[in-house]
Amino acid sequence: MGFFTSVLGIIGFVIGIPIGLILGFFVLIYSQPTHQEYPPARPLVETSISVLLDLLPEIPLWMKNPDYERVDWFNKFISYMWPYLDNAVCGIIRSSAQPIFADYIGTFCIESIEFENLSLGPLPPTVHGVKFYETNEKELLFEPSIKWAGNPNIVLVLKVLSLRIRVQLVDLQFFAIVRVALKPLLPTFPCFGMVVVSLMEKPHVDFGLKVLGGDVMSIPGLYRYVQETIKRQVSSMYHWPQVLEIPILDASTASVKKPVGLLHVNIIRARNLLKKDLLGTSDPYVKLSLTGEKLPAKKTTIKKRNLNPEWNEHFKLIVKDPNSQVLQLEVFDWDKVGGHDRLGMQMIPLQKINPGEKKAFNLDLIKNSNVVMDSGDKKKRGRLELDLRYVPFREESLKSRNKSQDEYQRKESREEKSSEDDDFLSQAGLLSVAVQSAKDVEGKKKHSNPYAVVLFRGEKKKTKMLRKTRDPRWNEEFQFTVEEPPVKESIRVEVMSKGTGFHFRSKEELGHVDINLDDVVDNGRINQKYHLINSRNGIIHIEIRWTTS
């Protein structure tokens, strides 16, 4: 009897334990929790401290932090637009998931993968507050606090060995503080080039996952493991300083062309120019400029009564696109009265010049740039001799523009330049001064029409005048070509106001600032706001860059 009892006990233990585990698992998965009635609502002032501490994570940030602002209007906008946003986002998800699903078909005995249902549900995400940051850069920076407790209907069907497996995502929750930067700000609609997104902390992600009708996330230990894995993976990709860049405008549209080098032009001489004066001579000078530039053209001195002038004058032109820009050379006969007669012209594409290489040109002057019209003109207009050298800036020389530039860099690594001319070119550079804006500029007179004046080494450049404002925004940039680094030098920026009527003294200085350029030369760039001297509360925002060739 004792033997049979022992055998039956062992059999009951071996069979009963697996059956009990299986039954318990299905009861745990398919059992529905019983909902209790919620306690009556009471004002926050009547609640205890312990209850307030439990509610603190659910209180919107605009109530806890004065830096965050309410955006109820935006939440209403999202609520009205959500049905259309739902369809648009789901369409993007379907099109993006198709190639990913195609890669898995045929592996692991998977015959097909498709969405049976795809909807984000009727509940839109809400923004619980937005914090804006003021920066010196050309960007709009803000941090929204986003919470989404949605009920999406996302059902994925996998067909494995003719067996349909339904996987459903339910009860999705997502809480995160996102940093969004719209940059760079541009004058082309929608006025920014890209959207840069990053997470300021690990996001909270919670969801349920049903497979064949059972909630897999109810398995002990699996829920926490999946949640921590998702947080870790998302944080590794998008946690600041990692960012997600979403381009809005094309690179050609969004990019603002900046100077990439200097073109050194040496106008040597001209020979056998046309006779335009009554006495059988001319008073020639050369006018040179680059296409695509709004800067005024450079001019040589005027050689009176000379058909074979010698100049040997050196000029520096700012290059922004060496692949497309063309050097325009025009020879004029100066007249004291009336317009100046053009003796001839020529054009040199910068593509013909290898970076760093000094190239000599002896050009036949033509009547105009139209090849068809000029082919019928047989008159000889003389010749123009000049030397050209294109020197890219150091930050641009690191990027090989073409094969010729690569060859030039390899040549530079093999031999050192020792001539005085090369040493002079290595010290030359470009000083860019961007006058962004000013704030609280006011004078003693009633009028307030401010404009800024930039003074450097005797050169004076002015911004446009803005009428009737004490917070002007100019956003204008000026360039100064410098033969050597401006060490132990300063640049002055003055804010002036000009009256629009008849005044005895229509101009008035609203303040000025002197900026030492040592930090600009050492760091390559400064971007700061300065208090204006002789101004009560005036502030001016200036960006200065130093780029060497």
Task: Band the pLDDT of 222: cuts 50, 70, 90.
Answer: confident
Task: Band the pLDDT of 453: cuts 50, 70, 90.
Answer: very high
Starting from the edge strand earliest in sequence, which strands make up the sheet with 326-333, in order?
298-299, 284-290, 326-333, 341-349
Closest CA to 156 of 205, 104, 106: 104
Closest CA to 442 of 494, 514, 511: 511
What is the longest distance spanned by two Cα atoms in the chain? 146
Starting from the edge strand earliest in sequence, which strands make up the sheet with 358-364, in order?
310-319, 261-271, 383-392, 358-364
Task: Band the pLDDT of 160: cuts 50, 70, 90.
Answer: confident
* Residue 216 pLDDT greater than 90, yes or no: no
| Cβ burial 112-135 (10 Å sphere, 16+ → b, else e) | ebebeebbbbeebbbbbbbbeeee
DSSP alpha helices (H): ranges in 355-419?
371-374, 394-397, 403-414
Q: How far apart are the C-alpha atoms of 132 and 416, rounded to whole Å? A: 51
Q: How far apart are the C-alpha atoms of 506 and 510, rounded to whole Å? A: 13
- The alpha carbon of 214 is separated from its chain's Cα centroid by a whole number of angstroms, namely 48
User: What are residue 57's phi and psi, to 5 degrees?
Assistant: -65, -25
The alpha carbon torsion through 376, 379, 380, 384 (nearest 10 deg) reads -70
Total length of the chain = 549
The residues near 299 (Cβ < 8 Å, ≥ 6 apart) are 285, 286, 287, 288
Give the mean pLDDT of the chain. Answer: 81
Task: Band the pLDDT of 408: cuts 50, 70, 90.
Answer: very low
Task: Band the pLDDT of 515: cuts 50, 70, 90.
Answer: very high
The residues near 516 (Cβ < 8 Å, ≥ 6 apart) are 489, 490
* Residue 248 pLDDT greater than 70, yes or no: yes
* Residue 231 pLDDT greater than 60, yes or no: yes
Please return the burial class of 41, using the count of CB atoms within 10 Å of its CB with bins 0-12, 13-18 and 19+: exposed
* pTM: predicted TM-score of the whole model, two decimal places: 0.64
Q: How far apart are the C-alpha atoms of 152 and 82, rounded to whole Å? A: 13
Closest CA to 493 of 470, 510, 480, 469: 510
Whether omega before 184 lies within 30 degrees of 0, making that bond cis, reads: yes
| Helix-then-strand count for the chain, H and E | 11, 25
